[in-house]
Structures are given as structure tokens and as C-alpha cells.
Amino acid sequence: MKKIVVAGAGGFIGGHLTKTLLGKGHQVRAVDIKPLSRWYQSFPGAENLVLDLKDKGNCYAAVNGYNEVFNLAADMGGMGFIETHKAACMLSVLINTHLLMAARDAGIERYFYSSSACVYNGEKQMDPDNPGLTEMDAYPALAEDGYGWEKLFSERMCRHFTEDFGLVTRVARFHNVYGPFGTYDGGREKAPAAICRKVITAQLHGPKEIVIWGDGHQTRSFMYIDDCIKGILDIMYGDIEEPINLGSSEMVSINRLVDIVERVAGCTLERKYDLNAPKGVRGRNSDNTLIRKYLGWEPGIPLEVGLKKTFEWIKSQLNDHQESAARKAVFNEN
């Protein structure tokens, strides 16, 4: 049994990771800035702490007495959030910096940092037909403004804490993770969840149309949460010392993503395009040569399989909210 800290445990990926670690019999200290009632998943078997990890003292409290740290904590969201909250994204550098200092001083044995494909040079992502970004494509540096630069800087912090202090660090660059128990509205959601929500809402309430950000030809790859968790654990406990891609290589256009969600939903909607909305780079995909070399594996859950599970979960959430609102209206009338 390991004693493991999960920072950002109240978030989407952190919640799934906490569940998996508890299922393996480990002792987990789950930490997040959000009130416990707003965590996407929480578990009575974990020690659940509400702490702002930008504060240095809270980081020391979080790691005290434990052996390993998974740092998934950050102020982030989809493109609509990170393009309009660059300072907030940059301030997440305090989380990783203070957690690294605390981990060094507390004798933490292994430290995982969740980076992002947003670290990659933007000039290598201008063509929708992207051949796949290799780990070398982060340099010369031209990361996504705000969020991407914070991630790239924090990767370097991990590297230098390894070099200078001997702290074992592992870094994975996530490519668009999706699945149940994550954000699907409110402005922080990413494309798969946003499109699922839009299609479900159009089905339930109309009008039978969907607004797509950009022209729909921009491309991405999307990794289902189960593949993400397996990759996190394999990277954490393997011998991969440099930052490595963790993403699917199944690249699709946003139009194709909508096609798949419509097929899952059994409907076809009129498409309208908002060319002024945040849309990010034109093309991004994960080159998985290195992860196949190290692990003999790469994320492989087909997009349509993962989207069906995600769609059904978001639909259940929207139906629950609708039924709750109806009950509240009846109660108020009486």
C-alpha cells in the first residue's frame, strides 16, 4: 500500500485517478480548492482536504506524511476559458512550484506532473492535416499563450528539481481528455463535452441546430479517460524521464466530431459557424512513437466508443437537472 497525494482530486481526471488508486488498495489524500460539494467525484475512503495549493503552507500540509504526489491541480478549462483567462492560468505556476518545494523537503519518492499539448510550438500547428506532434516539437518554444507557457515552465521546474535535488519526477503531456464526471457547461468545458451538451439540448428543447466554434475544419485528437488513467500510472511507475505525449492519435476535424455525436444521438442538426469564437490552433495530433517505444502501448479506445459513454452520462445529468427543476417549480406553486 502506498500513501499517495492527488492534487486536483475534485476535478475530472483527478476524480477518476483517486477512484483507481483507492481500488488498488492505496491510501489516498485527495486535495482540491473547491468545496467538497462541488467535486466531480469524492470518496469516503480517501482523506479529502479542501486547500488552495497556490499557498505554500498548504502544499506542505498536503504532502506531509505521504510518499508520492500526482499533481493534476490547475486553473484551466477548454479554449473558451484559457483564451480569456491567461493570467489565472499562469498563476497555476504557484501550485507546481510550491508542491515541488514541499515534495523535496518532505522526502516524496515520486512526483507526477500533468502537462498539456498546449506546450507545443504554435507554428507547427497551422495545418489541419497535422502529421502528429513529437515531444521535440515543444522547442523552439512558442507555446499557447498563458496556459501553455505555464505548463512548459512547470515541466522545466520538474526537470531541474530532479537534476538539483534528486526528486524523481514524471511528466505527461495530455491531449484533450474526455469522459464522464467532467465539466460539460459553464464555460470551462472542452469540445467533446460541449458538443454532446449542445446536441442533447437541441434534441430536448430545440431549435434543431448547433453552433460550432470556428469553421469546423480545425483538427484535434481526443483521449478517453480510461486510457488517460492507464497512461498516468504507467508513466509514473515506469522509467520515462523526459516529458512524453499521452493522447490518442485518432485525429478528427470538429465537423467530424459533430458527425459522431449526431450518430450517437440519432439525429442531424443544422450547423451554424461562429468564426469569431475561440478556436485555438488549426491542427493538433499526438505522435505516439515514443510512448509505444517505452510502454509497448498507446491510447486506443475508439472515439465513438468513448463519446457514446460520455454522451449518455451528460444526458443523464441534464435529465436529472430538468427533473429537479420541475419538482422545485411544483413545490413553489404549492
Active site residues: 147
**Phi and psi dihedrals of 275, rounded to 5?**
-75, -10
Q: Are 220 and 176 in contact, with CB atoms under 8 Å apart?
A: yes
* Residue 167 exposure: Cα atoms within 13 Å on the Cβ side: 26
318 vs 24: CA distance, rounded Å: 32
Three-state SS letters, the chain: CCEEEEECCCCHHHHHHHHHHHHCCCEEEEEECCCHHHCCCCCCCCEEEECCCCCHHHHHHHHCCCCEEEECCCCCCCHHHHCCCHHHHHCCHHHHHHHHHHHHHHCCCEEEEEEEHHHCCHHHCCCCCCCCECHHHHCCCCCCCCHHHHHHHHHHHHHHHHHHHCCEEEEEEECCEECCCCCCCCCCCCHHHHHHHHHHHHHHHCCCEEEEECCCCCEEECEEHHHHHHHHHHHHCCCCCCCEEECCCCEEEHHHHHHHHHHHHCCCCEEEEECCCCCCCCECCECCHHHHHHHCCCCCCCHHHHHHHHHHHHHHHHHHHHHHHHHHHHHHHC
The CA-atom distances, in angstroms, between 123 and each of 84, 129, 155, 276, 284 are 21, 13, 20, 21, 11
Tell me phi and psi for residue 276, to 5 degrees. Answer: -95, -5
